[in-house]
Structure 1
Amino acid sequence: MIYPKNAGEKLGFTEIKELIKAKCISDAGKELVDKIQPQAKLDLIDRFLRQTSEFKDLLQHDAPLPVDHFYPIKNLAEKAKVEGAFLFEDEFHRILLSLRTVYAIIRYFNERAQQYPNLELLFEHLPIEKSIIKSIEMVIDERGKIKDNASRLLLDISQQITKSEQEARKRIDSVFKQAQANGWTADGNLTIRDGRLCIPILAENKRKIKGLIHDESATGQTAYIEPEEVFHLNNKVRDLEFERRREIIRILTSLTSELRPHIPLLFAYHGLLTKLDFVRAKALFAMDIEANMPELSKVAEVSLVNAKHPLLLMASRQEGHPSVVPLNLKIDETDRVLLVSGPNAGGKSVCMKTVGLLQLMFQSGLLIPCDPISKLGVFKQVFADIGDDQSIDSDLSTYSAHLSKMKHFAQFSDARTMVLIDEFGTGTDPQFGGPIAEAVLEVLNKKKIRGVITTHYSNLKLFASHTEGIENASMLFDNEAMKPMYILQTGKPGSSYAFEIAQNIGLPKEILHLAKQKIGVQQKKVDTLLVDLEREKKEIFDTKRAISLREKEILSEQTELNSLKSYLEENKRQLLKDAKEEARQIIKDANKLVENTISNIKSAQADKEKTKELRSGLQKAADSLKEKTVKEVKKPGLTAVPDADLEVGDWVRILDSGNEGQVIEIAKNNLILALGELRTVVKKNKVEKLRGKEKAKVAKRFKSVASESVADFSPEIDVRGMRTEDALGKIELVLDRAVMIGYPSLKIIHGKGDGILRKFIRDYLRKYNQVSRFEDEHADRGGDGITYAYLD
Structure 2
Amino acid sequence: MDKHALNVLEFNKIKDQLKEHITSKLTMKFIDTLEPKTEIDYIQDRQEEVSQAKKIIIREERIPLGGIYDIRSSLSKVEKDIVIYGDELLNILNTLVTGHRLKKYFSNLLDEDNEYYRIIKISQGISYFKELERSIKKAIDNRGEVKDGASSKLRDIRRNIRNISDGIKDKLNSIINSSRYQKYMQESVITIRDDRYVVPIKSEYQHQFPGIVHDQSSSGQTLFIEPMAVVKLNNKLRQLVAQEEEEVYRILKDLSMQVKESLYDIKNTVQVLAILDFIFAKAKYSIEINASEPLLNQDGYINLIKARHPLLTGDVVPTNIYIGDKFNTLVITGPNTGGKTVTLKTVGLLTLMAQSGLHIPALSGSKVGVYQKIYSDIGDEQSIEQSLSTFSSHMNQIIKIIEEVNEESLVLLDELGAGTDPAEGAALAMSLLDYLYEKGAKTIATTHYSELKTYAYTNEGIENSSVEFDVETLQPTYNLQMGLPGSSNAFQIASKLGLRKEIIDRASDLLARDDVEFDKVIKEIEQERKEYNSKKVEAESINQNVKKLKEDYEAKLKDFEERKEKELKEAYREANKIIKRAQEKADQIIEGLKEKKKASDREIEEARSGLRQERKGIKNEESKLKEDARANREVPDLKVGDKVKIISYNKKGEVIDLFPDKKEAVVQAGIMKINIDLRDLEKIKGKDKGDKNYPKVNISHIKANKTKNISPKINLIGLRAVEAKSKLEKYLDDVLLSNLNQIEIIHGKGTGVLRELVHALLDNYPSVSEYRLGRPKEGGIGVTFVNFK
TM-score range, shorter chain: 0.7 to 0.9
Partner of 2:465: 473
1:211-290 paired onto structure 2 within 5 Å: 211-216=211-216, 221-290=221-290
User: Cα offset for 1:335?
Assistant: 2.1
User: Cα offset for 1:531?
Assistant: 2.5
CA shift in 2, pair 1:726/1:751, >3 Å: farther
3-state SS of 1:173 partner = helix
Query: Counterparts of 1:732 and 1:516 in 2: how far apart (Å)?
Result: 77
Is 2:425 the counterpart of 1:433? yes
User: Cα offset for 1:431?
Assistant: 0.9
- Aligned with residue 44 of structure 2, among 38, 43, 46: 46
1:32-181 paired onto structure 2 within 5 Å: 32-83=30-81, 85-113=82-110, 114-179=114-179
User: Cα offset for 1:183?
Assistant: 4.2
- Aligned with residue 329 of structure 1, among 321, 334, 339: 321
Query: Counterparts of 2:179 and 2:224 in 1: how far apart (Å)?
Result: 13
CA shift in 2, pair 1:204/1:127, >3 Å: closer
CA shift in 2, pair 1:257/1:703, >3 Å: closer
Query: Counterparts of 1:63 and 1:169 in 2: how far apart (Å)?
Result: 55
Identity %, equivalent residues: 31
Partner of 1:402: 394
Query: Counterparts of 2:63 and 2:543 in 1: how far apart (Å)?
Result: 45
- Scaled by the length of structure 2, the TM-score of the pair is 0.73
Is 2:537 the counterpart of 1:540? no
Query: Counterparts of 2:6 and 2:283 in 1: how far apart (Å)?
Result: 21
CA shift in 2, pair 1:436/1:763, >3 Å: farther
User: Cα offset for 1:222?
Assistant: 4.4
User: Cα offset for 1:217?
Assistant: 5.0
3-state SS of 1:371 partner = coil
Partner of 1:764: 680
Is 2:517 the counterpart of 1:525? yes
What is the one-letter code of the residue matched to 2:26?
Answer: A
Q: Are the aligned partners of 2:187 and 2:200 in contact in 1 as well (CA < 8 Å)?
A: yes
3-state SS of 1:560 partner = helix
Partner of 1:458: 450
What is the one-letter code of the residue matched to 1:754?
Answer: D
CA shift in 2, pair 1:221/1:334, >3 Å: closer
User: Cα offset for 1:359?
Assistant: 0.5
Query: Counterparts of 1:39 and 1:358 in 2: how far apart (Å)?
Result: 13
- Aligned with residue 27 of structure 2, among 26, 29, 33: 29
Query: Counterparts of 1:281 and 1:790 in 2: how far apart (Å)?
Result: 50
CA shift in 2, pair 1:220/1:128, >3 Å: closer
CA shift in 2, pair 1:201/1:676, >3 Å: same
CA shift in 2, pair 1:729/1:402, >3 Å: same
Query: Counterparts of 1:790 and 1:507 in 2: how far apart (Å)?
Result: 90
Partner of 1:299: 299
User: Cα offset for 1:160?
Assistant: 2.1
- Aligned with residue 389 of structure 1, among 377, 381, 385: 381
Partner of 1:602: none
Q: Are the aligned partners of 2:630 and 2:679 in contact in 1 as well (CA < 8 Å)?
A: no
CA shift in 2, pair 1:362/1:229, >3 Å: same
User: Cα offset for 1:357?
Assistant: 0.8
Partner of 1:421: 413
Query: Counterparts of 2:13 and 2:652 in 1: how far apart (Å)?
Result: 55
Query: Counterparts of 1:10 and 1:436 in 2: how far apart (Å)?
Result: 23
Q: Are the aligned partners of 1:746 and 1:790 in contact in 2 as well (CA < 8 Å)?
A: no
What is the one-letter code of the residue matched to 2:578?
Answer: K
3-state SS of 1:9 partner = helix
Query: Whose Rg is larger?
Result: 1
Query: Counterparts of 1:246 and 1:173 in 2: how far apart (Å)?
Result: 31
Q: Are the aligned partners of 2:24 and 2:68 in contact in 1 as well (CA < 8 Å)?
A: yes
Query: Counterparts of 1:790 and 1:343 in 2: how far apart (Å)?
Result: 75
Q: Are the aligned partners of 1:746 and 1:789 in contact in 2 as well (CA < 8 Å)?
A: no
What is the one-letter code of the residue matched to 1:27?
Answer: K
User: Cα offset for 1:195?
Assistant: 4.4
CA shift in 2, pair 1:270/1:338, >3 Å: same
What is the one-letter code of the residue matched to 2:140?
Answer: I
User: Cα offset for 1:211?
Assistant: 0.7
Q: Are the aligned partners of 1:179 and 1:185 in contact in 2 as well (CA < 8 Å)?
A: no
CA shift in 2, pair 1:333/1:242, >3 Å: same
Partner of 1:17: 15
Partner of 1:361: 353
Q: Are the aligned partners of 2:331 and 2:445 in contact in 1 as well (CA < 8 Å)?
A: yes
CA shift in 2, pair 1:73/1:403, >3 Å: same
Gaps of 5+ in 2: 585-607, 613-622, 632-646, 659-664, 669-675, 684-688, 691-695, 703-732, 738-760, 766-789
What is the one-letter code of the residue matched to 2:57?
Answer: L
Query: Counterparts of 2:403 and 2:556 in 1: how far apart (Å)?
Result: 64
Query: Counterparts of 2:48 and 2:251 in 1: how far apart (Å)?
Result: 46
User: Which moves more between the two structures, 105-114 or 386-395?
Assistant: 386-395
Q: Are the aligned partners of 2:161 and 2:241 in contact in 1 as well (CA < 8 Å)?
A: yes
Query: Counterparts of 1:510 and 1:351 in 2: how far apart (Å)?
Result: 37
Q: Are the aligned partners of 2:127 and 2:266 in contact in 1 as well (CA < 8 Å)?
A: no
CA shift in 2, pair 1:333/1:261, >3 Å: same
3-state SS of 1:6 partner = helix
Query: Counterparts of 1:789 and 1:363 in 2: how far apart (Å)?
Result: 55
Query: Counterparts of 2:233 and 2:494 in 1: how far apart (Å)?
Result: 95
What is the one-letter code of the residue matched to 2:260?
Answer: R
What is the one-letter code of the residue matched to 1:167?
Answer: G
Is 2:255 the counterpart of 1:352? no
What is the one-letter code of the residue matched to 1:198?
Answer: V
- Aligned with residue 481 of structure 2, among 479, 489, 502: 489
Aligned residues: 633
What is the one-letter code of the residue matched to 1:234?
Answer: N
3-state SS of 1:296 partner = strand
Gaps of 5+ in 1: 317-322, 582-673, 679-698, 714-724, 734-743, 768-774
Q: Are the aligned partners of 1:747 and 1:789 in contact in 2 as well (CA < 8 Å)?
A: no
3-state SS of 1:160 partner = helix
CA shift in 2, pair 1:224/1:410, >3 Å: closer
Is 2:5 the counterpart of 1:7? yes
What is the one-letter code of the residue matched to 2:379?
Answer: G
Q: Deviations over 1:463-500 (max 9, x none)?
A: 11122211111222333333322222222211142233
Q: Deviations over 1:493-536 (max 9, x none)?
A: 11142233344455666765564454333323322332332223
Q: Are the aligned partners of 2:36 and 2:356 in contact in 1 as well (CA < 8 Å)?
A: yes
User: Cα offset for 1:27?
Assistant: 2.7
- Scaled by the length of structure 1, the TM-score of the pair is 0.72
3-state SS of 2:358 partner = coil
Q: Deviations over 1:240-295 (max 9, x none)?
A: 21222122222222222222121111211221222222222212211110011122
CA shift in 2, pair 1:166/1:754, >3 Å: same
What is the one-letter code of the residue matched to 2:299?
Answer: V
Query: Counterparts of 2:411 and 2:203 in 1: how far apart (Å)?
Result: 90
3-state SS of 2:139 partner = coil
Partner of 1:641: none
User: Cα offset for 1:366?
Assistant: 0.5
Q: Are the aligned partners of 2:185 and 2:201 in contact in 1 as well (CA < 8 Å)?
A: yes
Q: Are the aligned partners of 1:344 and 1:496 in contact in 2 as well (CA < 8 Å)?
A: no
